[in-house]
Amino acid sequence: MPDALTISPLPSVPQFADVVAARAWAAWWQDSEVTLADYRARLEEVFTAPSLPAAWVAHRGDVYCGSVLLIDDDLDSRPDLTPWIAALWVEPAARGAGVAMQLQAIARAAAAQMGFERVFLTAAPSVAPYYHQRGYILHEAGVEGLDIFSHPVP
């Protein structure tokens, strides 16, 4: 029987840091000037920051299933918006089982504990229906080719 899904703060499961960095870099940064080593070094902030950035890992024992970050700023053009759910990733084999929803819920709950009233995220317009179905509200469309969504925290 497979291990139950667990969601842990990244600092409590540091063995997953390299895979968290690799998945996020491959999905969003590999075509930029940011190297995987640069992205991995930036992820180190999660281990020392008192609040943001923060990261969580979904795993079944020692098997990585997905991850999410909660960060101060995800768009240079919108520094007034904070915090941001970012780098949400679920492994293909774990998709369709609610892992992404659980990761988002953890990030929103953490934002609430930090005193925030809502979270933001960016997404390609093609995935807008996914976020609308999960309670996100379109905050602004077409910013740097992305849509900005917001969600109240619990």
Per the DSSP assignment, residues forming a β-bridge with 70 are 54, 85
- In a domain, residue 153? The reply is no
- In a domain, residue 112? The reply is yes
- In a domain, residue 148? The reply is no
Residues in the chain predicted with pLDDT less than 70, given as ranges, are 1-2
Q: What is the pLDDT of residue 68?
A: 98
Residue 105: CATH number of its domain: 3.40.630.30
- In a domain, residue 151? The reply is no
Per the DSSP assignment, residues forming a β-bridge with 6 are 59
- In a domain, residue 149? The reply is no
Structural domain for 50, as ranges: 6-116
* pLDDT per position as a tens digit, 87-111: 999 999 999 999 999 999 999 999 9
Number of domains in the chain: 1
Task: Determine whether 40 is exposed, middle or buried from the number of CB atoms within 10 Å of its CB (0-12, 13-18, 19+).
Answer: middle
**CA–CA distance from 125 to each of 86, 133, 138 (Å)?**
16, 14, 10
Structural element, H or E, at residue 112: helix 99-113
Contact (Cβ atoms closer than 8 angstroms) between residue 25 and residue 37: no
Task: Quote the tokens at residue 30.
Answer: 């590999």
| Its pTM surpasses 0.75 | yes
Q: What is the pLDDT of residue 154?
A: 83
- In a domain, residue 140? The reply is no
> Which residues does 80 contact at the CB level (< 8 Å), separation at least 6?
none
- In a domain, residue 87? The reply is yes
- In a domain, residue 133? The reply is no
Q: What is the pLDDT of residue 133?
A: 94
Sign of CA dihedral 147, 82, 48, 113: negative
For all residues of the chain together, what is the average pLDDT?
96
